[in-house]
Amino acid sequence: MFTYMKQSHTRIMNTLGRLFAIWVLFLVACSPNQPPTPTAAAAPQSTASIEPLPSPATVSAQNARAKYVFLFIGDGMGYAQIQLADMYKQSTAVSSSRASLSFSQFPTQGRVTTRSANSAVTDSAAAGTALATGRKTDNGVLGKDPTLKRNFESVSAAAERAGMKIGIISSVSINHATPAAFYAHQGSRNSYYSIALQLGTSRFDYFGGGGFNQPRGTTKTQKSAYDVAVEHGYTHISDIATFRALKPSDKKIFATYPNLLNAGEMPWSIDQPQMQPSLADFTAKGIDLLKNREHGFFMMVEGGKIDWSCHDNDAATTIHEVLAFDAAVRRALSFYESHKDDTLIVVTADHETGGLSMGNNTLPMTLQIDVLQYQRCSLATLEGKIQQALQQKASFDTVLGLIAENTGLGDEQKRLPLTDTELALLKQAYTAASSPNPEYGQTDIALPEKKKRRGMNLSTLAIDILNQKAGINWGTLMHSGIDVPVFAIGIGADQFQGPLDNTDIPKQLSRIMGLSQ
């Protein structure tokens, strides 16, 4: 009897176990696999090899969801760059336009640490990955872990998967480190062609501003990455009239500046013709294209050339890049004014570049920021003009006049007289540049060899002298490990008051958009 009862009990338990297993499988099959809001209207996207965004460590009691989210990244823009642009605007603008930079007045402000997984001083790839995915990686790596074995999901990809529309905008090439971190996964940020190909498979709705660096690969023999994007359904637009005529009904747009520079970037703001589209114009167009979509949008806008001008230690050009960046933020603010209940704007930086400070030994205990208004072009453009003059065997006085015309140096009425020492340095640089084998090359963003030739370069010397007369000092030609600011306004803005790590920003954005709980 005991044996019979034991067997019956066993059969009953096995039957109950099978019924429980079936019940669990039913629940799993019926449970939604999309975030609770927005709805899962978007086509499914495989994430088998992608690690989803981590959840934020802390959350507020606020339950409202942001439908429209802007993330502005000033590449290389630290506290000093913001203050410099603000002071310049205050000292040079007419009385009716003396307002500070728009985002410096945002009600919520915080402080962000930027180190990468393997360095206290990050590069843009690791910092971009942190801002896009909420995870640390090594310098030079995009959207992957340091071992290169795992891909990280970006907040933009998660938003797209949940049905939101996505816009990625930059003043530098769209396959450069920061914008690429929001759609690509590569072991090296320098794999420009491979990154460009991943744009086509991103399924994002709008790319604007810069184009591709190395669109046909390093050998220039590969199929054009622009053509590949078109094959994936994108419409590539590079003329102003078609760009301005774009309508909300137009889908999958890749709009580039009409006359891109060598690395696929937009011109410097200080050099840019007024009739050409600006970073603000690309931002405004993105808003127009995406704003009427049911589930809202996520838009990342990068002021990428702030970093480049800081690598050049070019203060006046940096100011104009920050002001152009602020103009783009103002377009988002205009949208926010009529959508306050469901819009969030976050402004931050990936790192600081240049070790910028205000105050130096040349101009102790005072500043003359306003003299930077007399610089009429970027360092790169000035160098091109000087090179052209030297190729035509121009005299030192002619070259000096060219420098004066573009920087104001030598004009006492502008408070920019040249001392005997400064004149001697410029003459020495002219003699070296005019010699049969001058140590003179095209200035680009900072390169190691630039340190060696900087003193012999007429254009960089002229800009250095102007910076000194303005009271500006630079600590490096590279990045620094200084913390950067974050500013926020709108729904969920309270989650961005400091101190924060850069990985916290996409985690909070994800929660505020309803992508994670």
- C-alpha to C-alpha distance for 56 and 59, rounded to whole angstroms: 7
**Looking at the structure, do residues 194 and 89 belong to the same domain, yes or no?**
yes
Question: Is 60 exceeded by the pLDDT of residue 446?
Answer: no
| pLDDT at residue 286 in the model | 98
Residue 327 lies in a domain: yes
**Looking at the structure, do residues 185 and 273 belong to the same domain, yes or no?**
yes
Residue 466 lies in domain: 358-473
Backbone dihedral angles phi then psi of residue 229, each to the nearest 5 degrees: -60, -40
Residue 24 lies in a domain: no
Q: Please say whether the beta carbons of 511 and 59 come within 8 A.
A: yes
Pairwise pLDDT comparison (312 vs 27), residue with the higher score: 312
**Confidence category of residue 331, pLDDT binned at 50, 70, 90:** very high
**Looking at the structure, do residues 217 and 337 belong to the same domain, yes or no?**
yes
**Looking at the structure, do residues 81 and 154 belong to the same domain, yes or no?**
yes
Residue 219 lies in a domain: yes
**Looking at the structure, do residues 457 and 432 belong to the same domain, yes or no?**
yes
311's CB contacts (< 8 A; 6+ apart) are 76, 353, 354, 445, 446, 477, 478
| Range with the largest mean pLDDT of 6-15, 50-59, 373-382 | 373-382
| pLDDT at residue 419 in the model | 97
**Looking at the structure, do residues 391 and 508 belong to the same domain, yes or no?**
no
Mean pLDDT of 140-161: 97
Mean pLDDT of 51-57: 77
CATH number for the domain harbouring residue 221? 3.40.720.10
Mean pLDDT of 268-277: 90
Residue 47 lies in a domain: no
**Looking at the structure, do residues 185 and 227 belong to the same domain, yes or no?**
yes
Q: State which amino acid sits at residue 373.
A: Q
Question: Is 90 exceeded by the pLDDT of residue 261?
Answer: yes
Residue 495 lies in a domain: yes
**Total domain count for the chain?**
2
Residue 341 lies in a domain: yes
- C-alpha to C-alpha distance for 479 and 123, rounded to whole angstroms: 7
Average pLDDT for the chain: 88
Pull the structure tokens for residue 183: 């759609």
**Looking at the structure, do residues 241 and 94 belong to the same domain, yes or no?**
yes
| Range with the largest mean pLDDT of 13-17, 31-35, 186-190 | 186-190
Residue 19 lies in a domain: no
The string of pLDDT tens digits covering residues 286-300 is 999 999 878 999 999
Mean pLDDT of 208-223: 97
Q: Please say whether the beta carbons of 366 and 471 come within 8 A.
A: yes
Question: Is residue 186 helix, strand or coil?
Answer: strand
Mean pLDDT of 170-184: 98
**Looking at the structure, do residues 164 and 289 belong to the same domain, yes or no?**
yes
**Looking at the structure, do residues 264 and 321 belong to the same domain, yes or no?**
yes
Residue 203 lies in a domain: yes
The string of pLDDT tens digits covering residues 449-480 is 444 445 558 999 999 999 999 999 999 999 99
Q: pTM for this one?
A: 0.87
Determine the distance from the C-alpha atom of residue 36 to the mean position of all C-alpha atoms in its chain, rounded to a whole number: 30
**Looking at the structure, do residues 418 and 278 belong to the same domain, yes or no?**
no
**Looking at the structure, do residues 348 and 407 belong to the same domain, yes or no?**
no
Pairwise pLDDT comparison (26 vs 197), residue with the higher score: 197
